[in-house]
Structure 1
Amino acid sequence: MVVKAGSARALILLLWLALVAALPGSGAVGGAGSAGPAALLDLPRIPWEGGSDYWKKFPVADAAGWSDPAFFPIVAWYNGISSNDEAQYDRSLGINTYIGMDAATPYSLFADNGMFWIGPPLNDTFTTSSRNWVGEFLDDEVDGRYSPQGGRAHLQELSDKAKADGRFAYTNYTQSVIAKDMADPDANAYVNDFTDVVSVDMYWYTVPFCSGSPYRENYLIPIPQPQCRTASSYGKTMQMLRQRDAADGKLQPLWQFVENLNGGPGDQPFTAEITPEQLEGAVMNSLIHEARGIVYFNQSLSGPCQGGSIFRQSQIEAGFCAADQVAAVKKIDSLIRDLAPVLNTQSFDYSFGGGLDTMLKQYNHSIYIFAMTDGASTPGPRTFTLPSGVRGRAVEVVGEGRSITASANGVFRDVLANENSFHVYRVDE
């Protein structure tokens, strides 16, 4: 919105800003100042589902704190907990939510450790008043196991039941819903008609698909084979899923699956294990493309390092073969936690130029630039120009212990050394 000086609207806006500035804030992120907009950037905003406020529609999730801007869902897919020590270990990695658990798991383990459960009630310790049971997981990969008509009927039945208890409904699909093989009306119905949160699992770095010969690319957004095993493919998954999600004119949060070791099916040849750098890059590119939650695929079904619960094995096995990948999970999750209030704001629709995947946000008296290469261009030096209206010239590289000085006209340069490299820049006003 552009506000012209001297207009009545400008006066109203200034009065509103003064009122907001007087309200108590939620604390600084990375050293930012008190609550209130950093600058009235004359830029459009992207369409979004509402960020943290979205969860206020679901009484149980709202009461559990999901509408707090400092909360960002980080989910472990199938990682059993049988003690407080195990739950606290997962918390140390940044995990705050689970999907998939042994039916004997008592509800108290979630409540006592500030962890959340998405799924059916596991046993009679789960009741309608169980606040840490925040959502219903409808089913997994229905699009790959049913005909479109049968899948819709199945999900409709599950969705009708789930939405009666004040919890959100979530499901996960295969890559079929973002490809052109499925008819648009069927794919759009899957994504839009049954859920309050939706995701797709496609493990670009580690599945055999990217090595196929001949390579068959048939997605809503082209993914050429040389770019298939790059972090940018995870971001394109978000873009394609959003394209489907927007078809009905309403938006819901999109979550992203990322393998924490190997996402290849156990009945297919082993391809690769994700490296720590690739893992972090896949998560970051997903965030840059507006992922509102991260789900870690926590199994490894082929290759030299296998397991049914990678996080738990990293806790109990000395010298575990996936220790470096789990350390990468902890590192990127720590950054997500620190930046959650920023990530939960509405991004600006702004481009920093070709060869880049970027996201621009504003929180308190700072702007934040999230940047990676776009997967198609050669990594290396990049030039950034700060948007008009940003007065600061000191550019902090968040979490890296260094800073850059932008020129008088707001230009600064940095290096993205690899396709999975990323930087987060903060500029204070």
Structure 2
Amino acid sequence: MSAHQGKRRDLPAPHRIASAKAIFVCVWVALVAILPASGLVADAGESHAQVGLLDLPRIPWEGGPDYWKRFPAAAAAGWDDPAFFPIVAWYNGISSDAEAQYDKSLGINTYIGMDASTPYSLFADNGMYWIGPPLNDTFTRASKNWVGEFLDDEVDGRYAPQQGRAHLQQLSDQARADGRFAYTNYTQSVLANDMAPADANAYVNDFTDAVSVDMYWYTVPFCSDSPYRQNYLVPIPQASCRSASSYGKTIQMLRQRDAADGRLQPLWQFVENLNGGPGGQPLTAYITPEEVEGAVMSSLINEARGIVYFNQSLSGPCQGGSIFRESQVVPGFCADPQVSAAKKVDSLIKGLAPVLNTQSYAYSFGPGLQTMLKVHGGSVYIFAMTDGAAPPGDRTFTLPAGVAGRSVEVIDEGRTISASAGGVFEDRFQSESSFHVYRVAE
């Protein structure tokens, strides 16, 4: 697919979706119940003494940084470092060190989609990584920054299931021959009940070592459809369709598919950095800066292990084939606020990567919330947003038993909150895309 074709945004009417409410914790508790013991990977990054106070069940995971040790190319490139978290740009060509360094300043560390003339040296010299086929003869088996193969895009939307599986099997076998991981991206059809479960499960489980789905909830026409039809594994009510919570539910549903074979792989999330709507049609919406950050955070809270930015805008007055690059070269570019938002949340991810790369605990802090709980370096970390079902506003948190701290630091906000003797504190979420990250002494 060329950089300017864009990605398919919506399924046709027969493939659209149903209603009800789902709670994040319940989904993960259900996953704990259905996964065999071999699918639950112990946390290599925390000692038993350090986590013993919490005595809570763990969220199933694929193994964190240790997962990448299975792939010699990724391990040699340092992807097994707990301080590394994949942040990927979809089609953002680089032609100079200055361009690569600009992308790096935004938090980008990996690319998918590039002009065939791009020399490998631009990746190696700037500490950036490539996922895809060899672009030219400057790429060799020894090219350390060439870490993975991108098999194909949206095969489930372009092939009949049997043909699609045969196509991916061939590509996957080729990719893994050189010790690189295989990654692909699907449409939302693998998350819907219109596709036969056996076909959807096979797509998600049989060919890849990392997998994602693209559905741009804030900017695709789907959320405004009338009549509105739902048929997802996790209901997406129309009232909250255009919300950060829908991105988190995408990860929940993808994990349900991924868990079907009892083996887990990293799940990545596509987020539009301006507009994910289809080209050649009237503009539905541009994602706002706050929504960029919220979509990323909701994905992380629901255990996304990588973020991929859809880096094009194909409709409306603010268009571009490479949003990040145009923000560098076009003074006063119309998407500068969205790019700044991506930079801000990417910086937060980079700073918290050692925390994000640990295994989470299953715990509900209170109603109306989606949360992620982690322990690292003697502190408890709580990543929190509203769940999209109830209006934003004040929320009450109850800390797990055994957490000693009474002072709750709100990271990157310059404030602290006092918890009661019973471990209860309150905070406000101004909008559905608002989030807070808290640190409490264990």
> How far, CA to CA, are the matches of 1:346 and 1:333 in structure 2?
20
> How far, CA to CA, are the matches of 2:53 and 2:424 in structure 1?
19
Q: Confirm whether residue 346 of structure 1 aligns to residue 346 of structure 2.
A: no
Q: Is the 8 A contact 1:281 1:420 kept in 2?
A: yes
Amino acid at match of 2:334: C
The aligned counterpart of 1:335 is 348
Q: What is the deviation of 1:385?
A: 1.0
The aligned counterpart of 1:117 is 130
User: What is the aligned length?
Assistant: 397
The aligned counterpart of 1:272 is 285
The aligned counterpart of 2:255 is 242
Amino acid at match of 1:136: E
Q: Deviations over 1:329-383 (max 9, x none)?
A: 0000000000000000000010112210000000010000011000000111111
Q: Is the 8 A contact 1:45 1:347 kept in 2?
A: yes
The aligned counterpart of 2:438 is 425
Q: Confirm whether residue 398 of structure 1 aligns to residue 411 of structure 2.
A: yes
Q: What is the deviation of 1:40?
A: 2.8
Q: Is the 8 A contact 2:366 2:398 kept in 1?
A: no
The aligned counterpart of 1:378 is 391
Q: Is the 8 A contact 1:118 1:137 kept in 2?
A: yes
Q: Is the 8 A contact 1:396 1:402 kept in 2?
A: yes
Q: What is the deviation of 1:37?
A: 2.5
Q: What is the deviation of 1:391?
A: 0.5
Q: What is the deviation of 1:147?
A: 0.3
The aligned counterpart of 2:81 is 68
The aligned counterpart of 1:171 is 184
Q: Confirm whether residue 224 of structure 1 aligns to residue 237 of structure 2.
A: yes
Q: Deviations over 1:220-267 (max 9, x none)?
A: 111010010000000000000000000001000000000000000103
The aligned counterpart of 2:70 is 57
> How far, CA to CA, are the matches of 1:76 and 1:420 in structure 2?
22
> How far, CA to CA, are the matches of 1:85 and 1:163 in structure 2?
32
Amino acid at match of 1:396: E
SS in 2 for 1:166: coil
Q: Confirm whether residue 365 of structure 1 aligns to residue 378 of structure 2.
A: yes
- Seq. identity, %: 79
Change (3 A) 1:188 1:38: closer
Q: What is the deviation of 1:216?
A: 1.3
Where does structure 1 lack aligned partners over 5 or more consecutive residues? 1-19, 22-34
Change (3 A) 1:36 1:90: farther
Q: Is the 8 A contact 2:65 2:79 kept in 1?
A: yes
Amino acid at match of 2:54: L
Q: Confirm whether residue 132 of structure 1 aligns to residue 145 of structure 2.
A: yes
Change (3 A) 1:337 1:391: same
Q: What is the deviation of 1:41?
A: 1.1
Q: Confirm whether residue 189 of structure 1 aligns to residue 198 of structure 2.
A: no
Q: Is the 8 A contact 1:393 1:408 kept in 2?
A: yes
The aligned counterpart of 2:421 is 408
> How far, CA to CA, are the matches of 1:50 and 1:403 in structure 2?
32
Q: Deviations over 1:166-186 (max 9, x none)?
A: 000000000000011100000
Q: Is the 8 A contact 1:208 1:269 kept in 2?
A: no
> How far, CA to CA, are the matches of 2:51 and 2:83 in structure 1?
18
Amino acid at match of 1:81: I
Query: Which deviates more, 117-126 or 208-217?
Result: 208-217
> How far, CA to CA, are the matches of 1:103 and 1:36 in structure 2?
51
SS in 2 for 1:37: helix
The aligned counterpart of 1:151 is 164
> How far, CA to CA, are the matches of 1:84 and 1:281 in structure 2?
31
> How far, CA to CA, are the matches of 1:353 and 1:188 in structure 2?
32
Counterpart among 377, 388, 393 of residue 401 in structure 2: 388
TM-score, normalisation: structure 2: 0.89
Counterpart among 99, 103, 114 of residue 101 in structure 1: 114
Counterpart among 263, 267, 272 of residue 254 in structure 1: 267
Q: Is the 8 A contact 1:210 1:228 kept in 2?
A: yes
Larger Rg, first or second structure (1 or 2): 1
Change (3 A) 1:36 1:297: farther
Q: Deviations over 1:101-144 (max 9, x none)?
A: 00000000000000000000000000000000000000000000
Q: Is the 8 A contact 1:117 1:134 kept in 2?
A: yes
Q: What is the deviation of 1:408?
A: 1.1
Change (3 A) 1:335 1:305: same
> How far, CA to CA, are the matches of 2:98 and 2:51 in structure 1?
41
Q: Is the 8 A contact 1:38 1:364 kept in 2?
A: no
Q: What is the deviation of 1:38?
A: 5.9
CA RMSD between the two structures: 1.2
Amino acid at match of 1:392: G
The aligned counterpart of 1:302 is 315
> How far, CA to CA, are the matches of 2:52 and 2:413 in structure 1?
25
The aligned counterpart of 1:321 is 334
Q: Is the 8 A contact 1:38 1:367 kept in 2?
A: no
Q: Is the 8 A contact 1:36 1:365 kept in 2?
A: no
